[in-house]
């Protein structure tokens, strides 16, 4: 189907469109999908980026979590409708392709590559911070040059590189095996956060909440740094997304209508509650200035409160459980590469699925190498902000796609229908645009440069090889 923005896929795929060696196995049920969502959402954002958010907004980082969560809740409803309507791999890229056309789909897909890859790298760097603190608390000190990248005077963040490559190797074994392990890791992570709240909340001191909003609400530059509630929301937004990775697994869901709805909406609701509890406990226990200076803020809170053993145990739980976020995000990234290659926009070898494991092994290994390289050499906050830019664009595309499809195809059978779709879609678009505008200027410039490279590749390579463009 043609449009001014390039060819479009059918909203409801024709039978046999994706079969044989280019078809993913349906092996996931709703518990796997809820665990995938929680595994992606609860991670570095609350374990590490709460400190970055506190530095930018002060105690009002709690409000920043609420703002980011509200935007993501709207996006989750749009995702749930689109994912159940189009249960095919690719998430926002696939929806945009069917509704808005190939050119915009390429931009979204290219942005999703940035989102998932840099999200993996962000978590790997956060994991490394907890590893260093955990080892140091046990009296073990590793060479500083191998623990941070050149930006901090080191050579490479070796722990971040190692964990990235290890997760990539695990994903090549098979989706169901990886998803089942992820359930175990999610349980460990949830128990650790529950223990943190139980130990930190009794030490709540209301004095730590004053002044509540020391840098104001709007994002602005102060002292050479981006400050304000929205500046914090633009980075802790990273803490909420992940439910979109569930949407990319639609083709592998056994019962997409039921399983995807439960997976996306359920994981989002559960994680919002967790985040508010943890943020209130952390900010109430320590001055925000102390949290902002730590690479392992939750462990720092417990050590300061006189719980060294609990601090050590929760840092250990983070070391065990944070890789689940890398697993889910790397899984989502490999599926984006896979679907774009299956559509002819990337080299077809990337769409080849292993007959034994039912997974795209080559593209998973390539993803792992890219993630490891970024994690080894760049700063956590800069990686997270750039990943957020890609995610925000994808969320905008999903909100628009849902509203356009409600107008152009109102009679399609929707297994899950978003309440007040035009209100939800509009809030998703406007909220994401405001969060994007709140990112540092240098992040937006880098994001524009990334997409300029992507458009050049599309015009010089992908457009002429598109399978949809030949029909």
- Say yes or no to pLDDT of 95 above 60: yes
The Cα–Cα gap between 110 and 450 comes to 8
CATH homologous superfamily for the domain 27-470 = Amino acid/polyamine transporter I (1.20.1740.10)
The pLDDT, as a whole number, for residue 18 is 45
CA-based torsion, 432, 438, 443, 448: positive or negative: positive
Contacts of 142 (CB under 8 A, 6+ apart): 132, 135
Altogether, the residues listed in the chain come to a count of 471
The CA-based diameter of the chain, rounded to the nearest angstrom, is 67
**Residue 19: strand, helix, or coil:** coil
What does the pLDDT average to over 165-178? Answer: 72
pLDDT band at 337 (very low <50, low <70, confident <90, very high): confident
Q: Nearest 5°: CA angle at 73, between 70 and 79?
A: 150
Tokens of 434: 């405001």
- SS3 sequence, 406-462? HHHCCCCCCCCCCCCHHHHHHHHHHHHHHHHHCCCHHHHHHHHHHHHHHHHHHHHHH
- Say yes or no to pLDDT of 96 above 80: yes
pLDDT band at 347 (very low <50, low <70, confident <90, very high): confident
Interval 383-421: pLDDT, tens: 888 888 998 999 999 999 999 999 999 988 887 788 889
DSSP alpha helix (H) spans, 88-228: 92-99, 102-137, 158-171, 175-200
Q: DSSP label at 405?
A: H
Closest CA to 277 of 125, 35, 69, 55: 69
The answer to whether the CB of 291 falls within 8 A of the CB of 54 is yes
The Cα–Cα gap between 376 and 392 comes to 25
The Cα–Cα gap between 249 and 184 comes to 19
The Cα–Cα gap between 293 and 56 comes to 11
The shares of helix, strand and coil residues in the chain, as percent rounded to the nearest 5, are: 75, 0, 25
Contacts of 121 (CB under 8 A, 6+ apart): 160, 164, 371, 374, 375, 378, 383, 387
The answer to whether the CB of 400 falls within 8 A of the CB of 371 is no
The Cα–Cα gap between 6 and 103 comes to 6
Give the rounded distance of the alpha carbon of 355 from its chain centre.
29
The pLDDT, as a whole number, for residue 15 is 40
Q: DSSP label at 13?
A: P
Average pLDDT over the chain, rounded to an integer: 82
Interval 243-290: pLDDT, tens: 666 666 666 777 776 777 777 777 877 887 888 888 899 999 998 888
Bond prior to 211 in cis (omega within 30° of 0): yes
CA-based torsion, 276, 277, 278, 284: positive or negative: positive
Place of tokens 């559509």: 343
The Cα–Cα gap between 269 and 73 comes to 8
The Cα–Cα gap between 462 and 445 comes to 24
Contacts of 286 (CB under 8 A, 6+ apart): 208, 300, 301, 304
The pLDDT, as a whole number, for residue 185 is 73
pLDDT band at 214 (very low <50, low <70, confident <90, very high): very high
CB atoms within 10 A of CB 356: 9
Closest CA to 439 of 400, 403, 390, 398: 390
- Say yes or no to pLDDT of 235 above 70: yes
Closest CA to 158 of 189, 133, 182, 127: 127
- Say yes or no to pLDDT of 334 above 80: no
Closest CA to 60 of 232, 302, 188: 232
What region, left, alpha or beta, does residue 189 occupy, with left being phi > 0 and alpha being psi -120 to 50 degrees?
Answer: alpha
What does the pLDDT average to over 84-111? Answer: 87
Domain boundaries, the chain: 27-470
Contacts of 234 (CB under 8 A, 6+ apart): 219, 385, 388, 435, 436, 438, 439
The Cα–Cα gap between 387 and 370 comes to 14
Q: Cβ-count burial of 255 within 10 angstroms (0-12 exposed, 13-18 middle, 19+ buried)?
A: middle
**Residue 97: strand, helix, or coil:** helix
State residue 13 phi and psi, 5-degree precision: -60, 145
């Amino acid at each position: 189907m043609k449009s001014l923005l390039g060819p479009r896929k059918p909203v409801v795929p024709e039978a046999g469109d994706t079969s044989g060696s280019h078809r993913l196995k349906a092996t996931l049920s709703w518990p796997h999908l809820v665990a995938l969502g929680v595994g992606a959402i609860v991670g570095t954002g609350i374990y590490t980026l709460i400190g970055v958010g506190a530095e930018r907004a002060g105690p009002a980082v709690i409000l920043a979590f609420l703002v980011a969560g509200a935007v993501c809740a709207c996006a989750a409803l749009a995702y749930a409708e689109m994912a159940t309507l189009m249960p095919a791999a690719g998430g926002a890229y696939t929806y945009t392709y069917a509704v808005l056309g190939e050119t915009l789909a390429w931009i979204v897909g290219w942005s999703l590559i940035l989102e998932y890859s840099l999200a993996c790298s962000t978590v790997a760097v956060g994991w490394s911070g907890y590893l260093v603190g955990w080892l140091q608390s046990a009296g073990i000190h590793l060479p500083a040059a191998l623990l941070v990248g050149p930006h901090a005077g080191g050579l490479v963040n070796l722990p971040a590189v190692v964990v990235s490559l290890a997760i990539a190797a695990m994903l090549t074994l098979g989706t169901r095996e990886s998803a089942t392990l992820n359930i175990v890791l999610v349980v460990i992570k949830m128990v650790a956060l529950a223990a943190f709240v139980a130990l930190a909340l009794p030490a709540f001191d209301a004095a730590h909440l004053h002044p509540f909003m020391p840098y104001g609400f709007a994002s602005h530059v102060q002292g050479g740094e981006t400050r304000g509630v929205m500046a914090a929301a633009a980075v802790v937004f990273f803490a909420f997304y992940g439910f979109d990775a569930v949407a990319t697994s639609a083709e592998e869901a056994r019962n997409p209508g039921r399983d995807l709805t439960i997976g996306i909406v359920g994981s989002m609701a559960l994680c919002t509650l967790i985040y508010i509890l943890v943020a209130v406990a952390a900010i109430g226990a320590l001055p925000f200035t102390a949290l902002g200076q730590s690479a392992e803020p939750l462990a720092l809170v417990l050590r300061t409160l006189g719980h060294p053993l609990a601090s050590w145990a929760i840092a250990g739980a983070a070391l065990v459980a944070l890789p689940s976020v890398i697993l889910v995000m790397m899984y989502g990234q490999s599926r984006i590469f896979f679907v774009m290659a299956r559509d002819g926009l990337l080299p077809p070898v990337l769409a080849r699925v292993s007959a034994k494991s039912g997974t795209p092994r080559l593209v998973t290994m390539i993803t792992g190498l890219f993630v490891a390289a970024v994690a080894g050499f760049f700063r956590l906050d800069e990686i997270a902000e750039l990943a957020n830019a890609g995610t925000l664009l994808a969320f905008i595309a999903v909100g628009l796609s849902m509203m356009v499809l409600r107008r152009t195809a109102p009679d399609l059978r929707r297994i899950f229908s978003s309440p007040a779709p035009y209100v939800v879609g509009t809030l998703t678009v406007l909220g994401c645009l405001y969060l994007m505008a709140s990112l540092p200027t240098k992040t937006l410039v880098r994001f524009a440069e990334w997409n300029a490279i992507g458009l050049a590749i599309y015009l010089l390579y992908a457009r002429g090889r598109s399978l949809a463009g030949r029909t």
